[in-house]
Amino acid sequence: MINYKLKIENRMVIRMAGISVLLLTVMTITSCSKYLDTQPTSFIPVNNYFQTADQMNSALTGVYELLGSGNLYGENLWAFLNSSTDESFYTRSGSTTLTGPVLYNYTPADGMIGGLWSDLYTGINRANLLLDNINKPLMDSASRSVVQGEALFLRAYYYFLLVSNWGDVPMPLHATTSPDSIYFPKTKSRAVYTQIINDMTLADSLVKTITQWGYSGRVSKTVVEGILARVCLFRAGYPFTDSSAYFYSQSLNWSNKVVNSGIHSLNPSYSQIFINHCQNIYDIKESMWEVEFTGNGIGTNTQAYGWVGSANGIACDDNSIGYSYGFLNTTATLFNAYSGSNKLVSPDKRRDWNIAPFSYKTYKNKVTGLIDSTTTAAWPIYDVYNRNCGKWRRSYEVAAPKSKNFTAINFPLLRYADVLLMKAEAINEVNQGPTPEAYDAINQVRRRAYGFRVDLINKATDLSAGLGYTDFQQAVYNERLLELCFEGLRRNDLIRWGTFLPTMQVVAYQILSSAPSGFLYAANASSNVQPKHQLFPIPRYEMALNPAMNGQQNPGW
């Protein structure tokens, strides 16, 4: 007879604690490398670990590693779990019968939901294990503080992804090292946010500045402050109704710290931001924090790789350009939101970068079946729904030879433009109306979008003076759509604003009334949205294996 209790306990240790995974992927960081080295070395028993600074840094690499997981920013978090909003819909062969998160047609047993939950807790336990042993090795105190700060922040960031997607969640703050310490009840989301803010605030005093690092793959002081601005906006929004003004003011405080640091500024070229991601070029002024992918799975180039530009690029069969599945297409809502969208050329330069204005056409040799040539064809202005996400274009990718599936294209987690828009939003909420400082923050983003200098007043691009609270709020909501589309932020933005359900109803109506018949299935996602979809369900296996949760599933699931 199979010992199911033993199987469950072993699974829980591996799933929540992540210890086996951590120690099987011990990694090293060298002082001369800007990348977190992701090559496995050896198995080391946990009791003999955390003896040296190198081992501590290796453990920190293990905490970072989860950011690039296929369940997080390697693919699923932006390609499947956040793709169907007012900015995009998921398209592929068989989409008319597709089920899962892309159509809001899934159950607590869904593998993507469970995979995200599991990987987040693996990252948390790796951070907990490191923090539990932070004082163990002999190492320079300043270096120890930096490691501690990064681990604290990453643990808090993983909890932020949990609480913003699931609400009340278990919150272990020490490593789970045996089957006797793996069961945790839900912690109220207010308390989780308090822990997140406290940990990130402490991390802010410990980590290095981004100029000390010189690249965007590590947690830095202004990154912590920018993410704290985001966390506080979430804490101020839905579903909370208490002390919202306080958290808006805290968000403003943190965004001001980033702005006042003088370190960051907008890249004059919007498209160059994403070309840099494709070419492993770091622009620490604009692109503040990125998930680094350093390989593509070919030959010896097997370090961390993702699907950026492959899953969410311009559909292409020619791998000399860069194969892409083109899974994400634009909605008419996004396309029409750009100024001048009814013209062949939009004055907002973001439109034809974010939304590909062309398609690839390959021509194959009739004898060999190999591709002879590939050309581009511009989409007619009326053909909106066929257009792919164009933000990360594999034609700029520098890794060679190119992989059909995997890329070394980095994914942005925080950009300076986002900080400016958060600042404008927070000012409007705190003052119940915009101030000149709020106008300046959003107008910098708008001026860059139209190709003008960001530091000069421009009547052609700047928002009209005298907007009231509601009109300015809507302007910020719209600008976040135009600027940050396809970066995995929109669904959670709509939820925290309390506009997710009505927005998706409008999207469904628009698709059904304007989309070609071949794309009417895209309305299924919007039509399927219910109040329960504002939170993910607790994974079924977690409900079955964790008795401390007392069967408390999220509402509606």
- Segment 385-417, tens digit of pLDDT: 999 999 999 999 988 889 999 999 999 999 999
Determine which of 19-33, 123-137, 238-252, 357-371 has the lowest per-residue pLDDT on average.
19-33
pLDDT of 46 over the 70 cut: no
Determine which of 94-108, 195-209, 327-341 has the lowest per-residue pLDDT on average.
94-108
Q: What is the pLDDT of residues 181-230, one digit of tens each?
A: 678 999 999 999 999 999 999 999 999 999 999 999 999 999 999 999 99
Q: Which residues touch 130 (CB under 8 Å, ≥6 apart)?
A: 50, 56, 59, 60, 63, 147, 151
Nearest Cα to Cα of residue 307 among 297, 316, 318: 297
For residues 484 and 413, the answer to whether their CB atoms sit within 8 Å is no
For residues 244 and 237, the answer to whether their CB atoms sit within 8 Å is yes
Determine which of 40-44, 56-60, 508-512 has the lowest per-residue pLDDT on average.
40-44
pLDDT category at 298 given cuts 50, 70, 90 is confident
What is the separation of C-alpha 537 from the centre of its chain, rounded to a whole number of angstroms? 20
pLDDT at position 196 is 98
Cβ–Cβ contacts within 10 Å for residue 40, how many?
Answer: 9
Tally of CA atoms within 13 A in the half-sphere of 273 that contains its CB: 31
Determine which of 488-492, 517-521, 533-537 has the lowest per-residue pLDDT on average.
517-521
pLDDT category at 496 given cuts 50, 70, 90 is very high
pLDDT at position 96 is 61
| Percent of the chain residues past pLDDT 90, beyond the cut | 76
pLDDT at position 180 is 63
Q: Which residues touch 159 (CB under 8 Å, ≥6 apart)?
A: 120, 124, 169, 171, 192, 195, 196
pLDDT at position 39 is 44
pLDDT at position 20 is 32
Q: Which residues touch 125 (CB under 8 Å, ≥6 apart)?
A: 16, 17, 18, 19, 22, 172, 175, 176
Q: Write down the residue that tokens 């296996």 correspond to.
A: 541
pLDDT at position 14 is 31
For residue 458, what are the CA distances in angstroms to 39, 468, 484, 551? 50, 20, 22, 57
For residues 83 and 91, the answer to whether their CB atoms sit within 8 Å is no
pLDDT at position 33 is 38
pLDDT at position 522 is 86
Q: What is the pTM of this model?
A: 0.91
pLDDT at position 299 is 63
- Burial bucket for residue 431 (CB in 10 Å: 0-12, 13-18, 19+): middle
**Start-end of H helices in 237-378:** 244-260, 270-278, 332-337, 351-354
Take residue 467 and report the two structure tokens written for it. Answer: 């907007």
Nearest Cα to Cα of residue 205 among 289, 142, 287: 142
For residues 157 and 413, the answer to whether their CB atoms sit within 8 Å is no
pLDDT category at 27 given cuts 50, 70, 90 is very low
The whole-angstrom separation of Cα 529 and Cα 104 is 6
Q: Write down the residue that tokens 């079946």 correspond to.
A: 369
pLDDT of 329 over the 80 cut: yes
The whole-angstrom separation of Cα 490 and Cα 86 is 8
The whole-angstrom separation of Cα 221 and Cα 205 is 8
Take residue 356 and report the two structure tokens written for it. Answer: 């590909």
For residues 83 and 328, the answer to whether their CB atoms sit within 8 Å is yes
For residues 108 and 72, the answer to whether their CB atoms sit within 8 Å is no
pLDDT at position 172 is 95
Determine which of 178-182, 468-472, 512-516 has the lowest per-residue pLDDT on average.
178-182
Q: What is the 3-state secondary structure (H, E, C) of 127-196?
A: HHHHHHCCCCCCCCHHHHHHHHHHHHHHHHHHHHHHHHHHCCEECCCCCCCCHHHCCCCEECHHHHHHHH
pLDDT category at 367 given cuts 50, 70, 90 is confident
pLDDT at position 526 is 86
pLDDT at position 296 is 78
The H or E element containing residue 113 is helix 111-132
For residues 362 and 383, the answer to whether their CB atoms sit within 8 Å is no
pLDDT at position 9 is 28
pLDDT of 178 over the 80 cut: no
For residue 182, what are the CA distances in angstroms to 18, 32, 156, 171, 379? 11, 39, 19, 11, 54
Highest mean pLDDT pick, 81-95, 244-258, 515-529: 244-258
Take residue 316 and report the two structure tokens written for it. Answer: 């292409």
pLDDT at position 241 is 80
Take residue 476 and report the two structure tokens written for it. Answer: 């910020």
Average pLDDT in the chain: 88
Radius of gyration of the chain (CA): 23
Cβ–Cβ contacts within 10 Å for residue 501, how many?
Answer: 15
Q: Are strands 411-415 and 287-291 parallel, antiparallel or unpaired?
A: antiparallel
| Percent of the chain residues past pLDDT 70, beyond the cut | 88
Nearest Cα to Cα of residue 18 among 110, 125, 112: 125
The whole-angstrom separation of Cα 77 and Cα 411 is 11
